[in-house]
Amino acid sequence: MTAHVRPSILASRSMRQDWTVLTRKHGSERSLRTVGHSRPPGTSRPASDHNATATTMLRVATSPHSARLLTSRAHRCRFRYSTEALEQPPPAGGHLPSVANSSILRTSRDSALRAPGLKFADDEPNSLAGRETRRMNLYQAVRDAMSIALAKDDTAVVFGEDVAFGGVFRCTMGLAEEFGRERVFNTPLSEQGIAGFGIGLAAMGQTAIAEIQFADYIYPAFDQLVNEAAKFRYRSGGQFNAGGLTVRTPTMSVGHGGLYHSQSPEGYFMGAAGLKIVIPRSPIQAKGLLLASIRDPNPIIFMEPKILYRSSVEHVPTSDYTLPLSILEPVLPQTNSDITVLSWGTPVYTCETAAHMLAGPPEGLEGIVPKSVRGAKVEVLDLRTVLPWDIEGVLERVGKSGRLVVVHEAGVTGGVGAEIAATVQRELFLKLKAPVRRVGSWDTPSGLNFEKFILPDAVRVLDAIIETLTF
């Protein structure tokens, strides 16, 4: 039941593909290096543009009156960008914001330290003076979180298939050397064994950080996670618990993962009361949410969008901090928004792209996107915790906008979107101005050659936004 295609191949291949990797030199200067065919390595361009977008978004959030003007200015900037880009081979994500240049990512020390909800573990939670940040991609942030967890908690151990040499996605690089093989070790190739073993450690009050190599291979552990870990506390009347267990697993599509290196199985766990499911969208999020997950007194499945391991880069505070679970974060906040777009993990960026496409349709789509909706204020939310999800947060936001589009990579039928849509229609029946729209993969397996047309592409999100706005 386990990967016949060993993922080290995949990991390196995904690196060589057209994912853009950002490297930052110092201060505000920023270079964009595209690994692969899409852009010659080392090609750099100023990043003032990106910062402008970020600033714009911030202002949009705080100043409703100037929002429209600023948004259009942001788009002018982007178009200048794209004209410039036309002289080069086209960038990977087209001319729109993608993971490589997303305004969602916090690429300065100051913005990193001011990430909402961020809580430092030491005694001076509010003091930002002297705090350091370091540029990290998502796998480095995950590694950093585990390093802190291991350093601060002697009972913590990290284990799974191939974690000792650093992991097939590099998330455990150097941890075995730093903390010893007793604390960071390989297990036999058995997912049910990994989950069961972790539950046993947790039942003894220790901290178990297990890795399932791909979320696609979590099913052999389904029984241990759903029947055992989730119900451990309840069934023993609170006498025993598996709260010390955190299962990390790479999830979501990677462009060429086919059926078994692409899945988003979070929906299968929606009925597993007692478990928590957490999915970060970026390095800052990954570190803060993972540390919070490791320390939460409940068993948690922490799903890391594998396509973001290298492609998402942020400044990440180097010290110990957490981000709250079961609280969503508006990543593109709006006051008086016209529509709410809710997602988690990788598609958060797709939603951001779609929002930009709506305001300033790229070439070819100009005739298709009605002018009447281009000025709509699109609010993008990152759910972050899928179980138990932030119902209050969603209801509050959708209660204001009256329109909701839920976007996830998993298939639509039985997906998390179904749960959210049902709750929203029940609670907000009179406030809804349009049906809740779900955008996900089709209800097919993730056929290798068909991924572009299976996964929720930005244009599909755009279409759903338009349809919902014009309903």
Active site residue 261: yes
Instruction: Give the phi and the psi of residue 118 in degrees, each rounded to 5.
Output: -65, 130
Q: Is 129 helix (H, G, I), strand (E, B) or coil?
A: coil
| Nearest-angstrom CA–CA distance, 2 and 6 | 9
Pairing verdict, β 313-317 and 133-137: antiparallel
**Cβ count near 26 (within 10 Å):** 6
**In the complex, least distance from residue 237 CB atom to other proteins, rounded to whole angstroms:** 4
Task: State how far the alpha carbon of 343 is from the alpha carbons of 120, 299, 382, 451, in Å.
Answer: 26, 23, 5, 19
Does 227 contact other proteins by CB under 8 A?
A: yes
Residue 243 burial (C-beta neighbours within 10 Å; 0-12, 13-18, 19+): buried
Q: Does 190 bind other proteins (CB under 8 A)?
A: yes
Residues constituting the chain = 471
Within 323-362, the residues that bind other proteins by CB under 8 A are 326
Query: Minimal distance in Å, beta carbon 305 to other proteins?
Result: 24
Per DSSP bridges, beta strands 437-441 and 208-211 are unpaired
Shortest separation between residue 278's beta carbon and other proteins, angstroms:
14
Minimum CB distance to other proteins, residue 155 (Å): 7
Nearer to other proteins, 107 or 172 (CB): 172
Among 98, 140, 298, 337, binds other proteins (CB under 8 A): 298
**Is residue 266 involved in binding other proteins (CB under 8 A)?**
no
206 binds other proteins (CB under 8 A): yes
Residue 8 phi/psi, 5° resolution?
-60, -35
The nearer residue to other proteins, 215 or 270, going by C-beta atoms, is 270
Are 281 and 328 contacting, i.e. CB atoms less than 8 angstroms apart? no
Nearest to 299 by CA among 361, 194, 208, 371: 208
Give exposure, 305-344, as e/b (b: 16+ Cβ within 10 Å).
Answer: bbbbbbbbbbbbbeebbbbbbbebbbbbbbeebbbbbbbb
Q: Which of 27, 130, 238, 367 binds other proteins (CB under 8 A)?
A: 238
Binding pattern for the stretch 391-430 against other proteins, x by CB under 8 A and - elsewhere: xx--------------------------------------
d(CA 279, CA 386): 7
| Catalytic-labelled residue, pool 75, 161, 191, 379 | 191
Among 29, 124, 223, 366, binds other proteins (CB under 8 A): 223
24 binds other proteins (CB under 8 A): no
Single residue of 196, 257, 280, 361 touching other proteins by CB under 8 A? 196
Site string for other proteins, 272-291 (x = CB under 8 A): -xx-x---------------
Residue 165 interacts with other proteins (CB under 8 A)?
no
Residues tagged active-site: 191, 261
Binding stretches for other proteins (CB under 8 A): 155, 157, 181-182, 185-188, 190, 192-193, 195-206, 208, 220, 223-224, 227-228, 231-241, 243, 273-274, 276, 296-298, 326, 388, 390-392
